[in-house]
């Protein structure tokens, strides 16, 4: 595994991009992909992709491309080995409470360290071992936290996002229906259950798994 820690930073940054696309291909039942196909999808030129993949020990074969399963296995291992990322959760309601109970116990390198809410009845308690602070404390408490999970009502999403960005958060997992605006160096992943469900139904219809 030592070779994996030698991956250049620029390559490592593209890993999640590759991972998402390959995962989608895998879900569609595709077993191989060409560097051209990948290049078009992730908007990285084929030469860079080939160089990146050579670090992973994945050497594409002419006329075959890359084995999707092999790459996915590699990415899972590598992404899992990343250094610990501290996460804060904002909005301890129905959804937020469920996440705190879950707290990604199967994944050692991601942990919700703290949570925030505006409701004084929730502040001062712990859920799943995670302390809940008042949202007024956000700027004081958010030191050494890199990512945030947003589970507040939609109308609160943008103002809270601005405070998170000011506090040095660089990644936001947004569960609210609001589309949030951030500076371009901040990464936002939006999880919309309605869209996910529609997408599932689309794939059920068009890519039945028992083909």
Annotated binding-site residues for NAD(+) read 91-96
- Residue span binding ligand NAD (CB under 6 A) among the ranges 16-24, 28-36, 100-108, 169-177: 169-177
Q: How far is the CB of 174 from ligand NAD (least distance, A)?
A: 9
| Interacting residue with ligand NAD among 10, 27, 47, 193 (CB under 6 A) | 193
Which of 128/154 has CB closer to ligand NAD? 154
Asked if residues 116 and 88 have their Cβ atoms less than 8 Å apart, the reply is yes
195 forms part of the interface with ligand NAD (CB under 6 A): no
Cβ atoms of 154 and 177 within 8 Å: the answer is yes
In the bound complex, which residue of the shown chain has the CB atom lying closest to ligand NAD? Answer: 93
> Which residues have a Cβ under 8 Å from the Cβ of 53 and sit 6 or more positions away?
35, 59, 60, 66, 71
Number of residues that bind ligand NAD (CB under 6 A): 22
Query: Residue 59 or residue 194: which is nearer to ligand NAD going by CB?
Result: 194
Asked if residue 95 binds ligand NAD (CB under 6 A), the reply is yes
CB 81 within 8 A of CB 135: no
Radius of gyration for the alpha carbons in the chain, expressed in angstroms and rounded: 20
Angle (nearest 5°) at CA 81 between 75 and 83:
130
Q: Across 97-150, where does the E strand assignment appear?
A: 110-117, 126-127, 130-134, 147-150
Q: Tokens standing for 28?
A: 């569609």
The helix/strand/coil state of 37 is helix
152 binds ligand NAD (CB under 6 A): yes
Q: Using CB under 6 A, which of 118, 173, 186, 188 touches ligand NAD?
A: 118
Query: Binding to ligand NAD (CB under 6 A): which residues in 55-94?
Result: 90-94
Question: Binding residues for ligand NAD, per CB under 6 A?
Answer: 90-96, 116-119, 135, 151-154, 156, 160, 175-177, 193
């Amino acid at each position: 595994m030592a070779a994996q820690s030698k991956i250049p930073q620029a390559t490592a940054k593209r890993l999640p991009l590759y991972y998402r696309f390959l995962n989608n291909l895998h879900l569609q039942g595709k077993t191989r992909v060409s560097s051209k196909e990948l290049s078009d999808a992730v908007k990285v030129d084929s030469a860079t992709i080939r160089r990146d993949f050579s670090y992973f020990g994945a050497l594409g074969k002419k006329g075959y491309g890359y084995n999707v399963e092999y790459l996915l296995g590699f990415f899972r291992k590598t992404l899992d080995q990343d250094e610990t990322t501290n996460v804060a959760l904002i909005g301890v309601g129905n959804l937020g409470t469920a996440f705190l109970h879950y707290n990604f116990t199967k994944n050692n390198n991601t942990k919700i360290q703290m949570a925030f809410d505006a409701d004084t009845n929730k502040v001062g308690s712990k859920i799943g071992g995670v302390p809940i602070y008042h949202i007024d404390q956000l700027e004081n408490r958010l030191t050494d936290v890199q990512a945030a999970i947003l589970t507040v009502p939609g109308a609160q999403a943008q103002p809270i996002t601005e405070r998170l960005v000011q506090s040095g958060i660089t990644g936001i997992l947004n569960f609210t229906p609001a589309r949030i605006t951030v500076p371009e160096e901040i990464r936002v992943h939006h999880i919309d259950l309605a869209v996910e469900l529609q997408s599932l139904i689309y794939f059920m219809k068009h890519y039945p798994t028992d083909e």
